[in-house]
């Protein structure tokens, strides 16, 4: 079923890694909302990284399909590099992060890379 709401552009990321099953589920849902879905996610699991950025090592990006990139950094790094370089200056309507393999509840919320990714835009690209 196709949604009547169509968004110009969505950016997806997660903290469980590019090949995580939850990201595939999120991508399926996102394609119901937009024809332009970008996935920029960590190459490997980055759970527990919170809003951290990689400042002491270079970020590497590998194309994994059209508008799909795996990045060596944290989820916040992925959002930052997507907004500043990969998406050609075109901001997404929304940044969606998840679907997470674990719970993001209680004291663990501040450690969540899933939530840290979406906080990046608010701090740096509002």
- 2 lies in a domain? no
- 68 lies in a domain? yes
Integer Cα distance of 71 and 52 in angstroms = 14
pTM (2 d.p.) = 0.85
Beta strand 61-63 pairing with 68-71: antiparallel
- 90 lies in a domain? yes
- 86 lies in a domain? yes
Over the Cα atoms of the chain, what is R_g? Answer: 14
**Domain hosting residue 14, numbered range:** 10-124
| Total number of domains in the chain | 1
For residue 125, name the pLDDT band (cuts at 50, 70, 90). low
- 17 lies in a domain? yes
For residue 98, name the pLDDT band (cuts at 50, 70, 90). confident
For residue 83, name the pLDDT band (cuts at 50, 70, 90). very high
Domain harbouring 92, CATH code: 3.40.1210.10
- 1 lies in a domain? no
- 75 lies in a domain? yes
């Amino acid at each position: 079923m196709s949604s009547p709401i169509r968004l110009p552009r969505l950016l997806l990321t997660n903290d469980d890694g590019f090949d995580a099953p939850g990201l595939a589920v999120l991508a399926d849902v996102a394609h119901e909302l937009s024809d332009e879905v970008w996935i920029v996610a960590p190459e490997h699991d980055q759970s527990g990284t919170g809003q951290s950025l990689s400042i002491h090592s270079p970020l590497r990006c590998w194309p994994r399909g059209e508008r799909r990139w795996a990045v060596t950094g944290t989820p916040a790094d992925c959002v930052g590099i997507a907004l500043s370089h990969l998406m050609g200056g075109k901001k997404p309507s929304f940044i969606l992060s998840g679907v997470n393999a674990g719970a993001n509840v209680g004291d663990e919320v501040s450690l969540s890379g899933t939530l840290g990714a979406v906080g990046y835009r608010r701090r740096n690209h509002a």
